[in-house]
Structure 1
Amino acid sequence: MEVTVAKTAGFCFGVKRAVEKVYDQIGRTEKRIYTYGPIIHNEQVVGDLREKGVEVIDSLEELKTIRNAVVVIRSHGVGKNVYEILKENGVEIVDATCPYVKKIHRIVEKQSAEGRKVLIIGSEDHPEVQGIKGWGDERTVVIEDMDDFLKLQLPENEKLCIVSQTTFNYKKFQDIVEKISKTRYDITVLNTICNATQERQVEAMRIASQVDVMLVIGGKHSSNTQKLYDICRKECKNTYYIQTLGDFNPECISSVRSVGITAGASTPNNIIEEVHTKCQS
């Protein structure tokens, strides 16, 4: 059987950097260490950090109670108000926000200050999008498709700035932007989808179109992994979404000639290697 593993599978630059920043804090300080939200959408990594004493803050209300501690801001980033709360409480901040996400924060803040209405193309409930929105103003909104855009019923003279969640589906982003561009608005479009995301999606699509079975590995709460699964499923009907080797059913590849493997940006290499080895056994 031929097994093809995507070269872009696994930790992206931003996630790897964030995880390393948390581990670097362990043993460096006597203060309690927290991450605001899980550092990545991977239960195995979060569980290992928990065993080493790193706790997860799950809500803004809980964050407001933290004192004399270290709080790591994950790669997804946060809104301006979170920095203000942490500074007011005298908390030591370790900022692991992905630089590509930071760039969007600066864009949204600047464009809002210049009077443009900012449209964020992405998933409203995703932490990265919530953080991006927190650098805009009351006019900043999130849309996921053209139906959301049309519901806004914007006046024709509205000045718009369009940005995107870094892990949004690139083809879907292009389609939405193309349709909005045909309307009567003064539009500034900034493609803020991460290059690594685009490359991962393109490679996954190519591999899925050439194999009998496609395996997509990643945490169940990982937005970018879900998008990879959706993309692969369109190319290969025998596409399976698994979190770890324990979710993998060898029977799904028992009588096929080729298998493809890709993984989300929060998937550790050891899990990818375990699945790869199992496929070859």
Structure 2
Amino acid sequence: MKVKIANNAGFCFGVKRAMNMAWHELEERENGIYALGPLIHNKQAVSKYEDRGLKTVNELNDIPSNESVIIRSHGVGEDIYIQSKNKGINVIDTTCPFVKKIHSIAKEYSAKGYKIIVIGDKDHPEVIGINGWCNEDAIIIKTLDEIDQLNLDANEKYCLVSQTTINLDLYNSIVEKLSERLNDIVFKNTICSATKERQFSAKELSKEVDCMIVIGGKHSSNTQKLVNICRGIVPTFAVETKDELDINELKKFNIIGVTAGASTPDWIITEVINFIESI
């Protein structure tokens, strides 16, 4: 049995930066620190940080005044910064720079009178955050078919952005379809470079192996997109840790490919590889 690893797998720049910043803050404080929502979509990694003193909350109201809060890499809406300031809560902002760029675009074009269209999952924290920079008024679509259900005005101005982890093929298809329907639309490809590289690497590796293993959190958007890409080419197993792997299933394959989502720590990837190689 041979194992091949995708060229781009595991923590992306934004997640690595956020995790390093959060760990630094934990080391500086005896009483821990709050995080608004799970730091990343990987419960094993978050658990390690919580053991060190990270306190995860879902609402700003759960944080006492004069405390500090970590804004995770997914980012938040503008109102969170305003509310934090009003409550006297210090913000440690680990928002990914790629996501920050989308916030700036959404705010700028919304102020100019453009209607913002976001390609993404309306329930994903990144998309919720983006919507919070354009008056909670964005049109959010997840699939190409949803465009047909939109009441778009050809005489209005629109600006399109996307969740950083959206599949590039989906983005291009939506751009093509909206170009046919609208006269005045600005397209901003805000898929981050790390996402494009990770998806391309996973797709190429899938062509060289008998099966793929995609490691990452069940709630990780970028991980699930990797799963869908690989499944379109070769049998694919989606797991969070090595404990979910089935030895009898894996024995059917000679060459196994491995990739991982942007929120998957190196130590979990290493455990999976070691497990496969031990079969």
Q: TM-score, normalised by structure 2?
A: 0.96
Q: CA offset at residue 31 of structure 1? A: 5.3
For 1:162 and 1:60, locate their aligned partners in 2 and report how far apart those are by CA, in whole Å: 29
User: Would the alpha carbon gap of residues 60 and 143 (structure 1) be closer, same or farther in structure 2, given more than 3 Å must change?
Assistant: farther
Q: CA offset at residue 208 of structure 1? A: 1.1
Q: In the alignment, which of 118, 134, 137 is matched to residue 135 of structure 2? A: 137
Q: CA offset at residue 276 of structure 1? A: 0.9
For 1:69 and 1:44, locate their aligned partners in 2 and report how far apart those are by CA, in whole Å: 26
For 1:233 and 1:197, locate their aligned partners in 2 and report how far apart those are by CA, in whole Å: 17
Which runs of structure 2 are paired with 1:243-262 in the superposition (5 Å)?
A: 243-262=240-259
Q: CA offset at residue 32 of structure 1? A: 4.4
2:156 alignment counterpart: 158
1:216 alignment counterpart: 214
Q: CA offset at residue 131 of structure 1? A: 0.3
For 1:27 and 1:262, locate their aligned partners in 2 and report how far apart those are by CA, in whole Å: 31
1:38 alignment counterpart: 38
Q: CA offset at residue 138 of structure 1? A: 4.8
4+ residue stretches of structure 1 with deviation over 6 A? none
Which runs of structure 2 are paired with 1:1-281 in the superposition (5 Å)?
A: 1-30=1-30, 32-62=32-62, 65-236=63-234, 238-281=235-278
Q: What code does the residue aligned with 1:260 have?
A: G
- Report the more deviating stretch, 19-28 or 133-142: 133-142
Q: What code does the residue aligned with 1:162 have?
A: L
1:201-224 superposed Cα distances (whole Å, 9 cap, x missing partner)? 011011112211100000111010
Contact persistence 2:65–2:89 (CA under 8 A): yes
Stretches of structure 1 that go unaligned for 5 or more consecutive residues are: none
For 1:268 and 1:99, locate their aligned partners in 2 and report how far apart those are by CA, in whole Å: 20
For 2:81 and 2:249, locate their aligned partners in 1 and report how far apart those are by CA, in whole Å: 47
For 2:171 and 2:61, locate their aligned partners in 1 and report how far apart those are by CA, in whole Å: 34
1:90-115 superposed Cα distances (whole Å, 9 cap, x missing partner)? 11110000000000000000000001
Task: Using the aligned pairs only, state the percent identity.
Answer: 46
For 1:133 and 1:3, locate their aligned partners in 2 and report how far apart those are by CA, in whole Å: 41
User: Would the alpha carbon gap of residues 149 and 137 (structure 1) be closer, same or farther in structure 2, given more than 3 Å must change?
Assistant: farther
1:221-241 superposed Cα distances (whole Å, 9 cap, x missing partner)? 1010001000100010x2000
For 1:145 and 1:220, locate their aligned partners in 2 and report how far apart those are by CA, in whole Å: 20
Aligned length: 278
Stretches of structure 2 that go unaligned for 5 or more consecutive residues are: none
For 2:248 and 2:169, locate their aligned partners in 1 and report how far apart those are by CA, in whole Å: 33
